[in-house]
Amino acid sequence: MVTVFPITPPNVAGGSTCPGSSVTLSASGAGNYEWFDGSSRVGTGPSFNTPALFATKTYHVVGTTAGCVSTRVPVVAEVLTPPDAPTIVGPASTCSGTSVTLSATAPANAIFEWYTQPNGVRLLFQARYIPRPFYPQPPDITYKPQ
């Protein structure tokens, strides 16, 4: 008598990220795992960290239990489309010691981060914009440069 074990493919979880970042993909339900990018093996173990991605990519994972190898299961690493840059309204320049009020518009649930330097070094203010009937626009910020 021969005992045949069913070969169950692993359960998988993909992920999403912003362009230029990596994603951690995971698999469960098998004893060992091999991760593939096309025909190239790129990792082993229950999780795999992708390299920095700039487009959505599908990887595959194979699970092995008791010497039985599953079929390849696709796992998607999704690269999200960044939102459009907010529109900023306010004066382009001001005198030292004079306050300036800036306004911005962006989609709902956007997180506004106002910086004093264009390279994002000094964070001045951060707020999440959640539209409400009594507060339909994102908050303005008043800043007095030194």
Output the pLDDT for position 8: 85
Task: Identify any residues that bridge with 74 across adjacent strands, giving them in sequence order.
Answer: 60
What pLDDT was estimated at residue 133? 47
In this structure, are 93 and 73 located in the same domain?
Answer: no
Q: Are 122 and 146 in contact (CB under 8 A)?
A: no
In this structure, the answer to whether residues 62 and 108 fall within a common structural domain is: no
CATH number for the domain spanning 15: value is 2.60.40.10
Could you tell me if 105 and 138 are in contact, meaning their C-beta atoms sit under 8 angstroms apart? yes
Instruction: Please check whether residue 36 is in contact with residue 98, taking contact to mean a CB–CB distance below 8 angstroms.
Output: no
- Number of structural domains (the chain) is 2
49 and 26 co-located in one domain: yes
Query: 139: domain range?
Result: 87-143
- What pLDDT is attached to residue 123? 62
The residue ranges of the chain whose pLDDT is under 70 are 4-6, 90-92, 102, 106-109, 116-146
Cα separation, 116 vs 121, in Å, equals 8
pLDDT (0 to 100) of residue 97: 73
Q: What is the pLDDT of residue 21?
A: 95
CB of 3 closer than 8 Å to CB of 68: no
